[in-house]
Amino acid sequence: MAKILAIESSCDETAVAITDEGRLLSNVVATQISVHEKFGGVMPEIASRLHCENITVCLTEALNEANLKLEDIDAFAVTRGPGLIGCLHVGLQAAKTLAMLYQKPLIPVHHLAGHIYANEYVGEFHFPLLCVVVSGGNTELVIMRDHMDFEIVGETKDDAVGECYDKVARVLGLPYPGGLPIDQHAKLGEHTYHLPVPTGEGKYDFSYSGLKTAVINLVNSLKMKGEAVNVDNMARSFQDVAISMVVNKSLAAAKDFNVKQVILAGGVSANSYLRAQMKEKLEGTGIELIIPPLWCTTDNAAMIAKVAERLYEKKVFAPLTLGVDPNWKIDHWQEF
Amino acid sequence: MKVALLLDSSEKCLTVGLSENGKVIDFIQYEAWQKQSEFMVNEIDGLLKKHSLSRSDIEAVSASKGPGSYTGVRIALTIAKTIVFALQVPLYLSSSLEVLREKGKPSICLSNARGKRSYVGIYEGQKCLTPDSIWDNSAVMAYLEEHPDVVPCGDLGYLGLEGQGNHICEALAENINEAHLESNSLGARPIYLKDDYQKGNFKTIIRKAMPSDIYALMEICASSLHSPYTEEQMLYEMSSNPVANVYSAVVDSQVVGFIDFMITFDSATICLIAVKEEFRNKGIGNLLLGQMLKDCRSQAEPVEFVTLEVRESNVNAQRFYKKHKFEAVTVKKAYYTDGENAVYMVRSIINNG
């Protein structure tokens, strides 16, 4: 094992973490949420600019917190995808520059593998297991039969569930990111609005654009008629449909693939209704549920370091000509 | 051997060079449109190895900072910032137009800003005759016609012209001087040249202060306030003090003002508020105060009033606060360390406006 410095800049958090033999020595996250909430979503160009401004400050903080020098680091890891291309470039340059200066290995990490492995900070993996990856950019069901062995069995055919939450929040006049405010309002409301339950093509596939459009159309038509939209009830109706799709498809896959564990990963795994539903539905099935700590549901570099430790052992190192891949698939993590 | 590393990726080309005592000793330059992200670090590695240099031989980095391709500018600058952070060496930044100049001749340095516009800067040697700005291509062509003595520089294929001068490395090496030294290398940001801003109709964004704002905040403190915080105190306010809230006002990616306030139970206190001199009287202070009031109103436990202390001599600030419904309640004698009195002002939260 080794001392690993990991950098994450795939979306709206500039993050640097350092681990030593699996122990987290520092975990610095500079979030840009208060910038992007003005726009109701992440503005890629603005996010890239802030990464460029903040990256070396975050590196400084991470080293100070860990009380280490760059000379002490054994490998430099970085998220090379998926994510926003301009944002990924910034983290990549910093990691490559450090690997070049100190002539140490450069480790390319898949962002979603990071979200999955964040769970290793709270529990041990037992295979086979099902990862339910739900975030602003992704909605995927992934079967793992061993460490770093990913098979995508289901995915969204259009929007990601988190993206759908953000858009619906915007229509309802709720702040960005939409996950938490919708969750809070849903708790106060009842399922009174009829929304269509989307049907994905494959057995484990998702579709969210229809649901999003249905909410927008319904809100607009109510406004045209001069009727007030009950935000609590709309949030509840939407959340019921959106989350039950995740829960139902996950349960089907968990049973069909005979898994020992179900693991939640990604930003939407912070949703209290999803957590409660998964807990309830898996109780008594013999399938263990691992829920990530809240700090791991947002982007951070500690989770990137966790994957990098595995890759360091396997000697999965990249050349200095490494590029980013905004659409990198998790089952292709060895191709870079 | 002590060398300076020279970097530019602001347009189609990728340029990596080495200089010793201001003289270029070797460089690599080729067209790598949208590939700089992949190749640049590897080229630096190759060039250092070719000359049997290690990181301890790098004594400075000189790079361009824009305007140009947004992503391209960020690549060289991120690499440059990472190197100077790691090695603790000085960073010299130049306009990416300035480094296109033809030696010893007045040069109009151009690059494609797209949408039939150009980034334009006019230079003679190290002297800037016209600062970098965005022109319509028709204005560029008219200028060239009227000024045949001024050499057009840069990759001018997009104007259907042949450009002169391709001495980026020489210019970067020459610019290793006091005038181009970047004082806040960790927080350095590219120049994007937003034309909106130049026309005066800039947009102000109020957002939570971020780590890289620290340098700008310290500068604003030093130039605007009598008893400024130390950098440590400011960092504490920004990241550790659980009751403190620091917001920055940002115009065109530049921090131009900030507010630092505390919320404790039913009251809030303004600790510091300041706006850069050239941005005053443009409503930025109103926006900062507005953000504080918004935060006060969204607390789970209702905040009822806001308090502040202001120097008795600072009548402008008192006028500003009065405009925002603050009332002078009392005078605190010898409140400041230099003995000056403070006017204690209070306003109620429910007072709209």
pLDDT tens for B87-144 read 999 999 999 999 999 988 999 999 999 888 999 999 998 899 999 999 999 999 999 9
Mean pLDDT of B277-288: 86
- Mean pLDDT in chain A? 93
pLDDT of residue B316: 87
* Overall average pLDDT of the A296-323 stretch: 96
Same-domain pairing of B314 and B297:
yes
Pick from A199-208, B25-34, B41-50: least confident? A199-208
Rounded average pLDDT over B246-261: 89
Q: What is the pLDDT of residue A310?
A: 96
A29-38, A97-106, B237-246: least confident range: A29-38
**What is the topology classification, in CATH, of domain A3-116+298-332?**
Nucleotidyltransferase; domain 5 (3.30.420)
CB A157 within 8 A of CB A140: no
Question: Which of A48, A57, A96 faces B187 most closely, judged by CB atoms?
Answer: A57
> What CATH number did the domain enclosing B222 receive?
3.40.630.30
Q: Nearest residue of B to residue A58 by CA position?
A: B211
Least CB–CB distance from A34: residue in B41, B55, B207:
B207
Question: Which residue, B197, B226, B244, sits at the end of a domain?
Answer: B197
Band the pLDDT of B352: cuts 50, 70, 90. low
Best mutation site among A101, A102, A336 for testing chain B: the one with the most B CBs within 10 Å? A101
- Are B41 and A100 a contacting pair at CB < 8 A? yes
Give residues with Cβ within 8 angstroms of A242, minimum separation 6.
A161, A164, A165, A208, A211
Residue B82 contacts A where some CB pair is shorter than 8 Å = yes
Structure confidence at residue B201 (pLDDT): 59
Q: Is the CB of residue A124 less than 8 Å from the CB of residue A308?
A: no
* Boundaries of every domain in chain A: 3-116+298-332, 126-291
Domain containing residue B93: 3-197
Q: How far A69 CA lies from chain B's nearest CA (Å)? A: 9
Residues B272 and B148 reside in one and the same domain? no
- Which residues in chain A are contacts of B41 at CB distance < 8 A? 93, 96-97, 100, 320
C-alpha distances (whole Å) from B294 to each of B130, B167, B217, B268, B274 are 43, 53, 22, 12, 19
B223 and B340 fall within a common domain: yes
Q: Which of B342, B295, B296, B339 is nearest to B317 (CA)?
A: B342
- Residue B25 sits in the same domain as residue B171: yes
Average pLDDT for chain B: 89
Residue A2 token pair: 């080794």
Query: Which whole number is the average pLDDT over A32-52?
Result: 81
Nearest CB partner across the interface for A53, out of B83, B189, B207? B189
* B22 and B166 both lie in a single domain: yes
Contact status of B81 with chain A (Cβ, < 8 Å): yes
Q: Examine the domain organization and report whether B181 and B211 are in the same domain.
A: no
Contact flag A321-B44 (C-beta cutoff 8 Å) = no
Question: pLDDT (tens digit, 9 = 90+) per residue, B137-166?
Answer: 999 999 999 999 999 999 898 998 887 657
Chain A residues within an 8 Å CB radius of B190: 49, 52
Helix (H, G, I), strand (E, B), or coil: what is residue B207? strand
Q: Do domains A3-116+298-332 and A126-291 have the same CATH topology?
A: yes
Q: What is the mean pLDDT of residues A64-77?
A: 97
- Say if the Cβ atoms of B81 and A54 lie within 8 Å: no
Residues B117 and B193 both lie in one domain:
yes
Interatomic CA distance for residues A6 and A311, integer angstroms: 12
CB contact under 8 Å between B82 and A35, yes or no, is: no
Determine contact: B33 vs chain A, CB below 8 A.
no
Residues A100, A101, A104, A105, CA torsion sign: negative
What is the token pair recorded at A22?
């699996």
The answer on B142 and B66 residing in a single domain is yes
**Poorest-pLDDT segment among A252-266, A274-288, B339-353:** B339-353
Tens digit of each residue's pLDDT (9 = 90 or more) over A151-196: 999 999 888 999 999 999 989 989 888 999 999 999 999 999 999 8
CB contact under 8 A, A54 and B210: yes
Nearest to B74 among A54, A90, A321 (CB): A90
In the CATH hierarchy, which fold is given to the domain comprising A126-291? Answer: Nucleotidyltransferase; domain 5 (3.30.420)
Which residues of chain A lie closer than 8 angstroms to B211, CB-CB? 30, 54, 57-58, 61
CB contacts < 8 A, A to B, total 114
Helix H, strand E, coil C: the string for B120-168 is EEEEECCEEEEEEEEEEHHHHHHHHHHCCCCEEECCCHHHCCCCECCCH
Q: Look at chain B and report how many structural domains it folds into.
A: 2
Residues B46 and B152 in one domain: yes
- Are B84 and B186 part of one and the same domain? yes
Which residues in chain A are contacts of B208 at CB distance < 8 A?
Answer: 34
Domain endpoint, select from B197, B225, B257: B197
Predicted confidence (pLDDT) at residue A100 exceeds the cutoff of 50: yes
Cβ separation of B79 and A61 shorter than 8 Å?
Answer: no
Q: Is the pLDDT of residue B195 over 70?
A: no
Contact B39 A321 (CB under 8 A): yes
Rounded to an integer, the average pLDDT of A105-134 is: 96
Residue B76 and residue B124 in one domain: yes
B181 touches A: beta carbon within 8 Å: no
* Inter-chain touch A323–B77, beta carbons under 8 Å: no
- Of B177, B197, B217, the residue at which a domain comes to its end is B197
Average pLDDT for residues B243-260, to the nearest whole number? 89
CATH number, domain of B130, equals 3.30.420.40
Residues 47-66 (B) with a CB less than 8 A from some CB of A: 55
Task: Specify the pLDDT at position B198.
Answer: 46
- In whole angstroms, what is the distance from residue B197 CA to residue B333 CA? 44
Global ipTM: 0.92
Are B42 and A319 inside 8 Å of each other by CB? Answer: yes
- Residues B253, B136, single domain; the answer is no
Alpha carbon of A32: minimum distance to chain B alpha carbons (Å): 8
